[in-house]
A and B are shown apart, each in its own frame.
Chain A
Amino acid sequence: MARAVSYKAGYIASLGKDNIPSELKGNEGLVYSSPATLAYNSPGAEGFGVKRAGLAVPESVMLIVAPGCCGRNTRYVTKNPEYNVRFFYLMMDETDLVTSRHLKKIPEAVKEIVEFCKVRPKAVMICITCVDALLGTDMKRVCSKCEELLEGVRVAPCYMYALTREGRRPPMVDVRQQIYSLLTPSIRKGNAINLLGFFAPVDPDCEMFELLKSVGFDDIRQIGTCKTYDEFLKMSQANLNLVLNNEANPAAEDMYNNLKIPYAGLTRVYGIDQVAKQYKALGQILGVEIEDSVFYEETEDKIRAFMVKFKGRKVNIGECINANPFELALTLTRYGMKVGEIYATLSPEHFVYVKKLAELSPDTMLLCNLDPSMINYSASEYAPDLTLGKDAAYYCPDVPNIPWNSDVQPYGYKGIVKLINAIEEALS
């Protein structure tokens, strides 16, 4: 009987990052569709895809210019009251594909929806899809035409080009660039800082806010907390952009070029020493010492107690999660848990974690959600006590699961503490 293809971490580490088997890469074969892959195949289904991301701009609406199929899943998003009057559709037909006549209709359509809205939007995001990627549509030019018709309304494109998912500017990178391109230069404030990378807010309990305030940044902005468009525009006053997700790096680079705002990057990790190192590095960039010892010690105590109580408990980890699944697997192994299986797409940049994981837990199995052989996956051979990640729940339905994929983003020491709390609760 056919089986799901899996590899031991120790074996993969021995192959090296340039020889990752195709079954783990997810981009060399057909892409299997199961509920575990929904977030990949339909990014807006879980968390933020291009559509929700575009509407992160406060007081904006979105016009989706596409074949009907591209707008279909918006039916679910619009069940959320926050979105139910913010999506509009200009449906393309076969003639549009041949003649591109739909482009001429867009300015009038934008005008009509702006007039239709009970509250006049400040921005209209125009979402276009794979067909316009292939047609080579110059949507920037169309947006300019729209702005000529509408005083005081900004119009920007959002490219939902699934075809370019693994290209130089994937859709989720590009949409961040488009959003922040709406900012215009303003007088910068020394105490202002932006957190870039997420569309929903960083967990307000995260120590980062306190630490940033302690070194003089008491005006902290992130798009997920901006209530109004004017508040969003004040992000151009920042003296520093702190990039918390690599997908925002090109947007930060654009803001550096256009608004002269420098940027620095932090990475979300669950290893306590790695969190400490990042704060230290940030302090060095700022020329100050960030005093995080209280948070470090509190977290360290938590980890110690966790290791005593839950050492040897077994966990399987998915990739639909607010974490890098390989870093999380390594960290939980270091915290005493046994990681049986990781369901995630492996790329060379993850290899640093896989190598270290292989030293501590060479028998941890790696599988890829997207591989066609996953249709044969029946049950985990590792009888986990717990699964982490929404997709992992699909594979082990009878085991307690922590989705850990909320819109609000866990981060830093508090992220570690809250994850441990969640695991303790699930295992108790």
Chain B
Amino acid sequence: MKGLRKVLTPFAPDQSGAVGVLYDSAALIVIIDAGGCTGNICGFDEPRWQDTAAGIFSAGLRDMDAILGRDELLVKKIVKAHEAGEYKFSALVGTPVPAVIATDYNALTYMIERKTGKPCVAVPSNGMRLYDKGASDAYVRLVEKFAKDERPFDENTVGIFGALPLDMGRSSRDKVFEYYKNQGYGNVRMYGCGASLEDVMDASSNSLNVAVSSSGIDVVKKLCGKFGTEYKIEDPAVFDLVIPEGRTLVVHDEVAGYSIRNNTESDVTVATFFTLHDELKQEGDLILTEEDEFTKLVMNGGFDNLVCDATYLPLIPDYKGRVMILPHYAVSSAGDDS
């Protein structure tokens, strides 16, 4: 049945991706929920939360708040929280509750900016899309809000988008960072994972932007349109993956799949449960939504090699080809010390 999961648990949702992007930005992050979504995002999708305190809050909505649409009460809560901490701006992250009651984010943002005197960004995630969409939206909203001034390109600076813990583990992020260092960039800005709000404001000075996962593609294109910044789409963390000869199926993030294809002689097909942009898609590549689509593809596709997160393996107990595990935290909630 469409939408029925019998083996896999749901993947990280858009709201988790949005929080991942905002995590290091010194924002007062308000997840507009009753509490449960906040617990899921922080406790299960944001490994940094165990070690580093961040200003993440639940709106603490109750049924009457939702039914009556008490936006003013929420604004009051946000103003009070600003008084209790030091935050550079407010960030609203949507969940299914505001999706049901059709929260007007523009109005809410305007009210919050007026009352706090600080900028406010809203990411209208709804818990039904996947993390890459939420992360992508958050990146775009951040640069729209803060990357306004056009500054001269700094040939020493590169902007990396899409290296969130949900995208790749710590060792992969380190590989990405080192790769661009070795390419001659003294200043590698890892947006969403170490880069500051000031780095967002200064994004126009990046001489190159790189989308290392799907969640970074829309924002590097946006920055290209706005400032003319050159961009690349590649994931250096998988460049050294040795793929044996034969036909290979990569089930992962689209950029990981694309980068594997470009760095191997093997005949690679890319499939993903997440976004697949047209510019990366080649004949045979496809989006998966259901468990049995994955099973049929692997079992009937004639692939010699399969590259994927270990979480998928219970769906294909009879697969006889070679399996190469490439962790994807958004799928498994497990990686290499994300």
Contact = CB atoms under 8 A, between A and B. Distances in A.
Answer yes or no: do A and B interact: yes
A380 interface: no
Given A72-B44, A76-B333, A92 B128 contact: yes
Given A93-B128, A164-B63, A372-B81, A73 B58 contact: no
B99 A73 contact: no
A135 B100 CA distance: 8
Given A42-B40, A45-B39, A164-B63, A72 B10 contact: yes
Nearest to B99: A97
Interface stretch (A33-41, A139-147, A201-209): A33-41
Nearest to B42: A33
Contacts of A376: 84-85
Contacts, number: 215
What bracket does the count of chain B residues touching chain A fall in? 35 or more
B85 A41 contact: no
A91 interface: yes
Residues of B contacting A: mostly: mixed
A75 B39 contact: no
Interface stretch (A125-133, A318-326, A384-392, A411-419): A125-133
Interface in A196-253: none
A163 B58 contact: no
Contact of A72 (B34, B40, B55, B85): B40
Interface stretch (B1-9, B218-226, B235-243): B1-9
A73 B40 contact: yes
B96 A116 contact: no
A109 to B, nearest CB: 5
A167 B9 contact: no
A191 interface: no
Give the one of B9, B11, B42, B99 with max A CB within 10 A. Answer: B9
B119 interface: no
Interface string A64-107: 00111111111110100000000111111110010000100100
Contact of B1 (A30, A38, A112, A167): A112
A33 B13 contact: no
Nearest to B125: A69
A331 interface: no
B315 interface: no
Nearest to B130: A68
B80 interface: yes
A113 interface: yes
B10 to A, nearest CB: 4
Give the one of A34, A112, A372 with max B CB within 10 A. Answer: A372
A68 B11 contact: yes
A112 B99 CA distance: 29
A30 to B, nearest CB: 4
Interface string B49-93: 110010111111111001100000000011011001110000000
B49 A69 contact: no
B57 A68 contact: no
B45 A134 contact: no
B43 A41 contact: yes
A108 B3 CA distance: 12
Contacts of B297: none
Contact of A133 (B5, B10, B63): B63
Contacts of B37: 69-70
A164 B66 CA distance: 11
Interface of B: 1, 3-6, 9-13, 15-16, 30-31, 33-40, 42-45, 49-50, 53, 55-63, 66-67, 77-78, 80-81, 84-86, 95-97, 99-101, 126-128, 130, 332-333
Interface of A: 2, 5, 27-35, 37-38, 40-43, 45, 66-76, 78, 87-94, 97, 102, 105, 108-109, 112-113, 116, 129-131, 133-135, 160-167, 370-373, 375-376
Please give me the 4 A-B residue pairs with the lowest Cβ-Cβ distance, nearest first.
A42-B39, A41-B39, A69-B127, A162-B34
22 contacts: A29-B80, A30-B57, A31-B35, A45-B39, A66-B96, A69-B37, A69-B96, A69-B127, A73-B40, A92-B3, A97-B100, A97-B128, A109-B1, A129-B96, A163-B97, A164-B63, A165-B62, A167-B62, A372-B57, A372-B80, A372-B81, A376-B85
